[in-house]
Structure 1
Amino acid sequence: MSGRKQFDVDEALDRAMRVFWELGYAETSLDTLGRATGLGRGSLYGAFGAKDELFRRSLERYAARYEHRYEEAVDAHAGDPVAAVGAFFDVVLDRIGDPDVPVGCLVVQSAAQLPTLSPESRKAVDRAVTAQRRRVRRALDAAAAGHEPAELDSLALLVVGVQHAIVVLSRTGAPMAELRSLADAGVQAVADRLAVTTR
């Protein structure tokens, strides 16, 4: 029987993810990660590699936990882009309002810290942001018959931009009513633009 201390990798990743989520990459130290996970530096390196690699593993963990919620929300309103965008924002607000997780969004907060990240981690964050934009763009495809692709691309960018604004404002302590109002304004902007046929 080995005398080495065993630990739950998934639980350690959850705790590391939460630290990066709460503090951001730049403010997260190996000592902080060690205290959160209960692992010494040697064990952290042995299990996950350097801080940069653990950060990317945390991003993957975050995606595995939340991406399907966006997919399900959008897919539940296939054919109705306005309702799909509204459901998308509902997921954003539900996560922000969850008292059991940190405020904000790990991906958005990491995007704001790109200069502090390695090239590999920058690419990982960019992939996550791009995936969200593509998800929204797919929700808008139901309106494609009356709108130019470039216009729908622009609307997808607007929706993701509003999402990012909501996340940032949530970190400042903005009340949920204000965040909901911003989301509603985003939905209304999409509805107004789609109501105008360009072809």
Structure 2
Amino acid sequence: MDEALRRAMLVFWRWGYSEASIDRLTEGTGLGRGSLYGTFGDKGALFRKSLLRYAQIYQPQYERAMAGPHAGPSAVVAAYLQVSLARIADPEVPDGCLLTMSAAQLPALDVESQALVRTSIDGLRTRLEQAFRAAGVAGEEAAGLALSTLATNKSLAILSRAGFSNDDLATVAARASSA
């Protein structure tokens, strides 16, 4: 079941929630319809489990990157975006970011899934703000840098989905961390 969930996560990541049909999910997981529903529940429940699996994989990487110590705000940005660049460059996973792709399709999600996507993004923003504060940035500046870094991260995911090269994405990340 663990492997089936990993495969379902990849289907949602590659196709987005709207285009991740039950046929694509059964093909991707290797489970029949009955087994898929019996094991994971409906499509929304499977999506939420997939999103939680995604967080289990990538959240620790972001946590390590933000743990510091960082010499300043530029180092926080660079460390955070480096995790994104490594994930994007990984040939074993689809382009982009499951969380970003899910946010782009928020209206198609059920209320519980919408809340999970928003909570996940808010959690990243909060953790970034904490990392900036630990690096010596105060008040509204830390909040602004957190939001800007999060936006750059999400932009990298979209650009990778649009076919921009890893070199182009590295340029964006380098510019963002030098500002």
Identify whether the pair has TM-score above 0.5, normalized to the shorter chain.
Answer: yes
Q: Does 1:83 align with 2:75?
A: yes
Structure 2 counterpart of 1:30, from 18, 22, 31? 22
TM-score with structure 2 setting the length: 0.95
AA aligned to 2:82 is D
> Which residue of the partner structure matches residue 66 of structure 1?
58
- CA–CA distance in 2 between the matches of 1:37 and 1:44? 8
Corresponding letter in the other structure for 2:49: R
The one-letter code of the counterpart of 2:77 is V
For 2:28 and 2:52, the matched residues in 1 are separated by 18
2:153 counterpart of 1:172: no
Query: What are the ranges of 5 or more consecutive residues in structure 2 without an aligned counterpart?
Result: none
Q: Distance in 1 between matches of 2:68 and 2:2?
A: 30
Larger Rg: 1
Residue 80 of structure 1: how far off its partner (Å): 3.5
Distance 1:126 1:78 in 2: 27
Distance 1:100 1:16 in 2: 14
Distance in 2, matches of 1:91 and 1:26, equals 27
Bigger drift between 70-79 and 90-99 goes to 70-79
Segment of structure 1 superposing worse, 70-79 or 39-48: 70-79
Q: Residues 93-120 of structure 1: CA distance to partner in whole angstroms, max 9, x if unpaired?
A: 0000011111110000000000100010
Runs (4+) off by over 4 Å: none
Contact 1:133–1:160 under 8 Å retained in 2: yes
Aligned to 1:103: 95
The runs of 5 or more residues in structure 1 that have no matched partner are 1-8, 190-199
Q: Which amino acid aligns with 1:166?
A: L
Alpha-carbon distance between aligned partners in 2 of 1:82 and 1:95, rounded to the nearest angstrom:
20
Aligned residues: 179
Between stretches 53-62 and 33-42, larger displacement belongs to 33-42
After TM superposition, the structure 1 = structure 2 runs for residues 115-194 of structure 1, keeping only pairs within 5 Å, are 115-144=107-136, 147=138, 149-189=139-179
Q: Which amino acid aligns with 2:158?
A: V
Write the distance in 2 (CA, Å) between the matches of 1:166 and 1:177: 11
TM-score by length of 1: 0.86
Q: Higher RCO, 1 or 2 (CA under 8 Å, sep at least 6)?
A: 2
Cα contact 2:66–2:80 (8 A) shared by 1: yes
Cα distance in 2, alignment partners of residues 134 and 85 from structure 1: 14
The code of the aligned residue for 1:24 comes to G
